[in-house]
Each structure stands twice: as C-alpha cells, then as structure tokens.
Amino acid sequence: MVRRQNPPSQKQISSRQRTGQCEIGMARRAGPAGYQHRCKGNSARLAHHTKRHPVPRRCAPNRRSSTRRITPSVRPSTALRRRGPPPLVSRMEPPIISRGRGQGTQHRARTKVQLAARECGGFTRPLLAGPRYTNGSRTDPTGHRSKAAAAKEFCQWYSELPPWELVVFSGGSQGKDGIGYGYVVMQQGQERPLASGKGKLDDCSVVFDAEALGAWCGTERALQVASPGTNVTLCADNTAAIWCLRGTASETSQWAFLAFHKAVREWSGNVQVKWSPGHMGIRGNELADGLAKEGQKSAPDLEAGPTLAGVRAGIRFRLRQIRLHHWLKNRNGLSRRYRAWKLRYDTRQHPAELEILSRPQLHHFLAIRTGHGDFSWYHRKFKHGSAELKCSCGAAKTPEHIVMCRKVLGCFDKWP
Ligand SMILES: [Zn+2]
C-alpha cells in the first residue's frame, strides 16, 4: 500500500532548500558519502513498503538470477517454455467455486476471454519459434514448371536413384467421412512398399494438417527402418506443406513440422523434401493417396485433437452463419424497392461498384438503389415546393428514368 503524503508546505520547502535537502528527503551531498547516504535512504524507504508494493517485488533476488535471464543462445521456444504461457492464457479458464453450492466446480464462463477460449477447443498451443532457413527453403518447390513437366522429371530422377536410398510418399485427403492421411516408404526397384501407414484426424482439422501429419509419420517410420547414414527423400504433392517442411513451421500442426525439423537435424544421413505432382500417375503418390482415403474411414486416432486451422475454419464458418442470419432477420425492415436488388451483406469485401464507378456515377447509382434523390415522388413526399418534378425531356423523374431517358440513350456508348 502506498502511503499518501500531503504536499510540503512553502515553509517546509524553504527550510529544505536552506539545509540542502531535496524534496524526497535525500541529502544533496557530493562524492561517495552522498551515494552511501542515498543508498541508506532508499533502503529505509523500501523497508517501509509492504511486500506487495511493486518496487520491493522488483528487488527480489530471483528476478535477476542468471537462470531466468534469456540469453540470445537460448531458442525462443525454449525461452517461452521457461517463462510460461502469456498472461491471457491464465485468464482463459473460469475460476473454481471455492465454497457454497457447486463447490469445487468451475464458474460459468463470463468474461470475453473466457467465452472466446470456450470456442477454441483443445488444439495444441503453437510455440514461439524463430524462422528457419535451409538450403532451398526460399525457392518455389514447383520451380515454376507445369505438373506434366515436373512429373516427367520426377520419374527420371526416381529411376536413377540408388536402390538403398529411401523415398517417402505422403498425402492427405478430405471426404465425407472425414480427413485422413497416408504414407508409403519405397525403394527404387522394389514393387512393394517397405512400410506404409494411414490414419484419421479429428473432424476439427483441415487437409493441410493431414499433409503435415502424413509427412511426419512417414519420415519417422522411414528413419526407423533405415540403416544409419541412409539418404531419405520425402515426396509430397502439397506445396504449402513443403514450404513448412523446408523452412519455417506453420502455426497449425506446428508440432509435426518441429518434430520433422528435429529429426532431420539429428539424422546421420541426408533428408530432402521434394515436390511430386499429384494425380500424374506417380506410383508412390497414388499409393499414399489411396491410403489417405482409406484412413478417412478408419477409427479416429485418440491422440489427434482439434488443430488451430480447424478451429479457425470452424469459427469463420460460424461467423458467416451469424452474419447471414443477421441479414435475413433484418432485411425485412428494408423497403421493397431496396430488397428487390437482392444485395448480399458482406462487410469484408469491397462492393465492385466502389472500385469501378466515379464519384458522380456512384451518386446516381446509390440514388437509384435507395430511391432517395432527385425524384418526383421523393420531392412530393417531403414537400419540396420549389423542386422540378419533370426531366428536361418532359417525363416524370423516376429512379429508373436516368437510364431510360431519350436524351441519355443518345450517348449510350459512353456509359461505364
Ligand atoms: Zn429525361
């Protein structure tokens, strides 16, 4: 608790000035003696404060101990684990009822943070990891080639591989049964895959997550069966996943990418990532795709929970539903004329007319849509006595007249 003091009187100030004291009660002495005196004064002041005061808390020794200091050599993800989750995280869970009815259970979610957290599901929280740059991580996996050219080149590359090297094909797919992933580990010259696997993801996921999981599970399996020092090539048809496998991990399914990066770092041989264009008759790709489709129908993996991208997609879908519902409910109050335009309610996209029309054209356009403008009925309704009710051609001014007027039709070619 901070002790409030009354401001010093003029008499007190003049007496302090005479004796050389500054306002906060420390002597204005020069040299080491003055420094020591100030230190003693500060210690005495700190001793007066309670432990909850922010200044004594900042003097606590553990704040400055070397174990808590984050040196640049510590990776950001490690630093985050040490410091714990950000402060909002602790406010996501409603508190526990401490006494009375319902003791020991959680309170109802009330705050914005608690309500938002309830919508998020239990996806794995992404870590604050730094960007990762490797050879080729900044180049387009497709190399700006067509799928046909890339497939031909791929088949050529595959046929020239030494028979002891391992090639992993992975893929993900989404169907009405859910989202699945599949992988095969193959060797050049062998008809049958060395190993294969498939699985199903949580319904709250996207295909990208399946691609990530398939790539990691396939690589993990290949490194298990490979003898040390063997070169392994992971072939995926999803370029977005390849960007993350070669470079920086995405936030969704981040754990799979980070596990892949760690495995690559620790493997004694060389692990490469290659683009194998999908649906181009590459055998490994077709096998992995088939397994991914079978994976959709298998029992869901108990460990596979919702993913960040899945939760985001779900929330976006619900927002669209809410917006649509709001529009359907509220458009009944609009005029019949305005409803006849059958406009959609979209707050995220610019309407095309804003991009194309000039300001004067837009004025006429909006006047026609709303019916509010230089029109006969409008002037009559609001009793504009001096207003001109007829066009210069002699016809009544209706909202549509601007496009039907014979004078305007003469310059039809100049219309936007
Ligand atoms: Zn006219």
Distance, CA of 91 to CA of 258 (rounded, Å) = 28
- Separation of 407 CA from ligand 1 center, angstroms? 6
Domain ranges of the chain: 10-61, 84-119, 147-311, 352-414
In this prediction, the residues of the chain whose per-residue pLDDT falls under 50 are 1-5, 8, 13-27, 63-76, 79
Predicted confidence at residue 16, as pLDDT, reads 47
Q: Is domain 147-311 given the CATH code 3.30.420.10 in the classification? A: yes
Best CA proximity match to 183, nearest among 260, 80, 81, 92: 260
- Separation of 379 CA from ligand 1 center, angstroms? 17
**354 contacts: CB under 8 Å, gap ≥ 6:** 362
**Cα angle 321-252-147, degrees, rounded to a multiple of 5:** 95
- Separation of 356 CA from ligand 1 center, angstroms? 25
- Separation of 403 CA from ligand 1 center, angstroms? 9
Predicted confidence at residue 363, as pLDDT, reads 93
- Separation of 335 CA from ligand 1 center, angstroms? 25
| Other beta carbons within 10 Å of 181 | 32
- Separation of 406 CA from ligand 1 center, angstroms? 6
DSSP strand E in 69-132: where?
none
Output the pTM of the full model: 0.67
- Separation of 364 CA from ligand 1 center, angstroms? 14
Angle of helix 207-225 relative to helix 254-266, nearest 10 degrees, comes to 20
- Separation of 387 CA from ligand 1 center, angstroms? 16
- Separation of 414 CA from ligand 1 center, angstroms? 17
DSSP assignment of 128-156 equals: -------TTTTS-TTTT--HHHHHHHHHH
Predicted confidence at residue 72, as pLDDT, reads 39
Predicted confidence at residue 78, as pLDDT, reads 53
Would you state the structure tokens that stand for residue 41, as one six-digit string? Answer: 């004064």
- Separation of 228 CA from ligand 1 center, angstroms? 87
**181 contacts: CB under 8 Å, gap ≥ 6:** 170, 171, 172, 173, 198, 199, 201, 210, 211, 213, 214, 217, 292, 295
- Separation of 395 CA from ligand 1 center, angstroms? 6
Distance, CA of 141 to CA of 112 (rounded, Å) = 42
Predicted confidence at residue 40, as pLDDT, reads 72
| Other beta carbons within 10 Å of 233 | 20
- Separation of 221 CA from ligand 1 center, angstroms? 78
**HSE-CB for 35 with a 13 A CA cutoff:** 2
- Separation of 390 CA from ligand 1 center, angstroms? 8
Predicted confidence at residue 183, as pLDDT, reads 96
Per-residue pLDDT tens over the stretch 40-53: 777 667 666 666 66
| Other beta carbons within 10 Å of 53 | 14
- Separation of 140 CA from ligand 1 center, angstroms? 59
